[in-house]
Structures are given as C-alpha cells and as structure tokens.
Amino acid sequence: MSDRYAVFGNPVVQSKSPMIHARFAAECGQDLTYEKIEAPVDGFADALHAFIETGGKGCNVTAPFKLDAFALATDMTEDARLAGSTNTLRFSDGLIEAHNTDGIGLLRDIENNLGMPLRGKRVLMLGAGGAVRGALLPFLQAGPAEFSLLNRSADKAAALRDMMAAHGAITLCDPEKSHGFDIVLNGTSSSLSGACPPLPEGLFEGCALAYDLTYGKGLTPFLKNAEAAGVGRLSDGVGMLVEQAAEAFAWWRGVKPGTRDLITQMTVPLA
C-alpha cells in the first residue's frame, strides 16, 4: 500500500501541493499518495488524528491551522519552535513531529535559484507575521551584514528582534533611513488583496533584488514600485513555494527532489 500524505487547510481547494508532491514522488521513485483535506475550522485536531489513525505518514498544514498543528506537536525542530507555527508534520511511534520549511524554502530560492547569497548583504524584511517569523533563523544563519525588520507595529518587530537575540542581530529599520539595502522582501499579506505595504521614500535606493513572498499574482503593487524605482531583479514567491515543499518531502522521505523545472513551469510572468 502506498504511503499516505496530505495537506490540511480551510479552504484547501486552491492548494498546489498535491501536484507538486506527485511530481516529486515520480522523480524520486517514491510510492506515496497525497491528498487535500479540508478540515472544519474548529475541528483540525479531530481530522488530524483520524488521518494518523488511518495510516497517514505526514502532512502539510496551511491556513488557518498552522498554530493548531504547532500546539499538537510532541516534538519539533528549532525552525518550528522559533517560528511558533508549523507547516509540516510527520508521524511515527505515536509522535507528532513539527517542522517549519517556509524560511528554508525562501532562503534556498534566493540563494540557489536567484543566485544571490545573503552573506555580507544588507537585507530588509517588511512585516512581522508568520511568514517573517519562519524566515528569521535561516536568514540569520546565512550571515547577512545586516538583517532589518520594518513593520507597521514597531513593538511587534521589536519582540521578534528580542526573541532572536541568541541567534543573531536583527535591527529595526528607521523609516527615515530605509535605503541602501541589497535585498528588500515583502513579507506582509498586502499583495493578496492587491494592496501595497507602506514604502518609505528611497526604500529601493541601491537595491539589487525586490522579492514578494506572495506568488501567482504577477507584478504586485510592491513589485511595481520596485520596478519603477529601477530595481534590476524582481521575484515573487513561487520558488519559495516549491522549495519549501521540497524540504518537506526530503524530511519525510530522506531524498531531495529537484525544483528548477517545476519552478519554471509554475512561474507566472511578472507583468
């Protein structure tokens, strides 16, 4: 019998995870199935335990269940613990192990696919929500010269800075001096609604890469602003999506699938 995996969400119909993991399984010769499970908003725990009891080996978790999944974990990686949420679970011997692959996926997309190592770079992340939390540890470990946060709520950004103090230095960006960054990332949810986060004047001065973590929306307002400011490299989050899935697959199966062809296939032109 094929090993069983799934993605949980509500809604979940839009998820591309089954297609991605089917490609990975075929490439790596892995015998598994992967399905979508739309759990009731107040019934994630019951749905997850039912999945485990019927032979589930692991799952991905998307909105709105990442915090619920984290709360159910019996063991977790450092990435999950620091993020305070999980997007990947695996099950064995009665354990529910949690991992967060979002930040690893984002870092690999920037460094491997876009060819821009973070070491020695000045990096600015807009936002302080779940996506940003997941990126903090991998980004600090990559050795940037400066890693800054700029968020509408300075207190929330300060809390993340303090939380990560043992792992590396995070600075809070002064909107009056927000220029000279090599990489600027939009980690807010603004692009999902076609909006743009507040962008201080001169933000993109000297910027080599503008990256929007949202994917499949084309040239978002954030990226349009970057283009108008003369930023030479623009990217959305499709590479992050595929790379975080590849990290989850490798964590489950012990083999790392290729990602470049799938990223190319899934890329929506930035226009």
Please check the confidence at residue 179 and state whether its pLDDT lies above 90: no
Listed by start position, the domains of the chain span: 3-100, 103-238
3-100: CATH topology = Rossmann fold (3.40.50)
pLDDT recorded at residue 192: 85
**Which one of the listed residues 16, 36, 66, 256 is annotated catalytic?**
66
Per-residue tokens: 43: 């019934």
Q: If you average pLDDT over residues 99-108, what whole number do you get?
A: 97
- The CA distance from 188 to 144, in Å, is 21
| Residue-wise pLDDT tens digits, 43-54 | 999 999 999 999
**CA 255 distance to own-chain centroid:** 20
Per-residue tokens: 188: 């807010």
Using only the alpha carbons of the chain, give its radius of gyration.
18
> Is the CATH code 3.50.50.60 the one for domain 103-238?
no
- 36 labelled catalytic: no
| Residue-wise pLDDT tens digits, 198-236 | 999 999 999 999 999 999 999 999 999 999 999 999 999
| Contacts of residue 195, Cβ cutoff 8 Å, sequence gap at least 6 | 221
| Contacts of residue 242, Cβ cutoff 8 Å, sequence gap at least 6 | 20, 105, 109, 259, 262, 263, 266
Please check the confidence at residue 271 and state whether its pLDDT lies above 90: no
- The full 3-state SS of 106-122, as one line of letters, equals HHHHHHHHCCCCCCCCE
Identify the helix (H) or strand (E) that includes residue 248. Answer: helix 238-253
Evaluate the omega torsion of the peptide bond into residue 64 and state whether it is cis, within 30 degrees of 0. Answer: yes
